[in-house]
Amino acid sequence: MEGKKTIEKKESRRTFLKKSALASTFATLAACGSDTSWEEFFQKNFRTLDDDDKKKIIERLENKYTEKYGKKFSVSSKDPIDETLFGYGLDISRCIGCRKCVYACAEENNQSRDPQIHWITVLEMAKDKGVDLFHSHADYDRELVPEDDHFYFPVACQQCENPPCTKVCPVGATWKEKDGIVVVDYNWCIGCRFCMAACPYGARHFNWAEPDVPKDEINPVTHYYGNRPRMKGVVEKCTFCIQRVREGLYPSCVEICPVGARKFGNLLDPDSEIRYILKHKRVLVLKEELNTQPKFYYFY
Amino acid sequence: MTTNRKHGLSILIIFFVIIVTTPSWISGQESAKESQLIQVPPPPFSEDIFPCTECHGDMEPNPERRILEEMHDDIILKHDEKNRWCLDCHDKKNRDKLHLANGKLIDFTESYKLCGQCHGPKLREWKNGVHGKRTGYWNGKKKYLLCAHCHNPHSPKYKKMKPEPAPADPMKGRK
């Protein structure tokens, strides 16, 4: 009699495993935040999906964002334009370091205000030192710019032709698109931050907390790989304003720059501004020795 | 022999095709490029200052080189001021126009032609979209700015401005 009682109390190995598997699944789901739906949790890598699946995801996201921010959202999944390879030019002789691009970028691309994420970092450099990252400052606080004897060197994603960041991603959540833009599938990103360690330009940024963008400042015109609202625990970066440039528009940093130091165009079009710059101006790329082959050209 | 002749014939045909098609192709491309251009906002006049003839219409022009004291005394010329003054660019007879060095009258909307007389390389770069600001479409219609939209023609050095705030200290609250 005594022996039988103990057997009844004991859980079989099978039930124990079943229960613990269920419990851990729910724990993971719960940890992902209450607004993560079942479909979202089991969503596949966006790049591998067919148009129907993409459409369903886009629809779900549009509804989710519209509900969250009280504004009609559009999430584009527009593919690259044929025969297009984007290149960017920045005239370091004309940039005055006003940082207008930094904030225009944050507004256009829905970057978290607190904790603050900026895709563009403007470095102040002394003219007598030249392009010298070691002696540059991002936190300069001047009454007026440009400061005498200094020049300014904005740095964002260099959209490398040979990007080190995409190679280290263990899950394939980031890659280079046909038009040269390096993108992230935020839903597939596991937040390991290997890409941030691999990027020699400090161009990738991590959402350490739930991104905070005021409802009245959110930009509802978005792209899946671009400025759609991100979540805590994913990496984000400059996409040349993918939501704008795939529609033919200039990136918003180009639009805002008060001195017209920022240039943008199609490297495959011999008549483009960027090709004119490459042909006629003195051009340099940042950290050329690393063979990342940036498509972001500084010139003067 | 025959193969050589055949070769010669096909080369001739290719030449002919190139000669016939090239000009139309080039001009077609140019017109496409022209149509993408140019939209320029109106010149940046101070308020209520244009047309100039509103005041100058009945005024006898005084061609004597001098510093203006009664009117326009807010304009401080800092643009090769030792060698130039108002009527070197503004036309004496037709007050609503500017004139080039050769006397040709131009509208204020074409002032870049006047600037380009001295600043040739800058004008060339502006026309190619390197100097100056272009907005709109990278693959279509663009909006340009005139020289005078960024550079005050009387004092063209670009003015210093207050920068946006420095990025937040990432170590804030963790020191």
The answer to whether the CB atoms of A276 and B130 lie below 8 A apart is yes
The pLDDT confidence band at residue A149, using thresholds 50, 70 and 90, is very high
3-state DSSP assignment of residue B163: coil
- Indicate the pairing of strand A235-237 with strand A283-284: unpaired
pLDDT at B26: 38
CA–chain centroid gap for A201, Å, is 13
Q: Is B138 helix (H, G, I), strand (E, B) or coil?
A: coil
* Smallest CA–CA distance from B121 into chain A, residue: A280
pLDDT in tens, A155-207: 999 999 999 999 999 999 999 999 999 999 999 999 999 999 999 999 999 99
Task: Output A4 or B121, whichever has higher pLDDT.
Answer: B121
Q: Do A250 and B134 touch (CB under 8 A)?
A: yes
Average pLDDT over residues A218-239: 98
Nearest C-alpha neighbor of A261 from the set A148, A145, A96: A96
Cβ–Cβ below 8 Å for B136 and A249: yes
Residue of B26, B135, B138, B141 to mutate, testing the A interface (most A Cβ within 10 Å of its Cβ) = B138
Chain A residues with CB under 8 Å of a chain B CB are 81, 91, 96-100, 102-103, 114-116, 118, 121, 138-146, 245, 248-250, 254-255, 257-260, 263-266, 269, 271-273, 276-277, 280-281
The average pLDDT across A114-143 equals 96
Q: What is the pLDDT of residue B46?
A: 84
Q: Given this model, what pLDDT does residue A17 score?
A: 87
pLDDT over 80 at A11, yes or no = no
pLDDT number for residue A7: 57
- Residue-level pLDDT, tens digit, chain B, 175 residues: 445 555 655 555 554 444 443 433 333 344 445 445 566 788 888 888 889 998 898 889 899 989 888 889 889 999 999 999 999 999 999 999 999 999 999 999 999 999 999 999 999 999 999 999 999 999 999 998 999 999 999 999 999 999 999 999 877 766 5
How distant is the alpha carbon of residue A221 from its chain centre?
16
Q: Check whether A56 has a pLDDT greater than 50.
A: yes
Look at the block and give the residue holding tokens 């070197």: B88
pLDDT reading at A119 higher than 70? yes
Q: Please, which residues bridge with residue B32 across strands?
A: none
Q: Residue A273 and residue B129: Cβ atoms within 8 Å?
A: yes
Share of chain A above pLDDT 70, in %: 93
Given an 8 Å threshold on Cβ–Cβ distance, is A138 in contact with B162? no
Q: What is the pLDDT of residues B142-158, one digit of tens each?
A: 998 999 999 999 999 99
| Biggest CA pair distance of chain B | 90
Shortest Cα distance from B104 to chain A (angstroms)? 30
Q: In whole numbers, what is the pLDDT of chain A averaged over residues?
A: 94
Residues forming beta bridges with residue A223, ordered by sequence position: A76
Stated pTM of the model: 0.84
Interface touch B138/A258, C-beta < 8 Å: no
Higher-scoring residue by pLDDT: A30, A213: A213
Nearest CA in chain B to A277: B130
> Of A220, A261, A231, whose CA–CA distance to A88 is shortest?
A261
Residues in chain A within 8 Å Cβ distance of B112 = none
A225 CA to centre of own chain: 8
pLDDT attached to residue A32: 54
> Over chain A, what HEC string results?
CHHHHHHHHCCCHHHHHHHHHHHHHHHHHHHCCCCCCHHHHCCCCHHHCCHHHHHHHHHHHHHHHHHHHCCCCEEECCCCCCCCCEEEEEECCCCCCCCHHHHHHHHHCCCCCCCCCCCCEEEEEECCCCCCHHHCECCCCCCCECCCCEEEEEECCCCCCCCHHHHHCCCCCEEECCCCCEEECCCCCCCCCHHHHHCCCCCEEECCCCCCCCHHHCCCEEECCCCCCCCCCCEEECCCCHHHHCCCECCHHHHHCCCCCEEEEECCCCCCHHHHHHHHCCEECCCHHHCCCCCEEEEC
Q: Are A253 and A101 in contact (CB under 8 A)?
A: yes
Mean pLDDT calculated for residue range A59-65? 96
**Mean pLDDT within A246-266:** 98
Q: Which residue type is seen at B12?
A: L
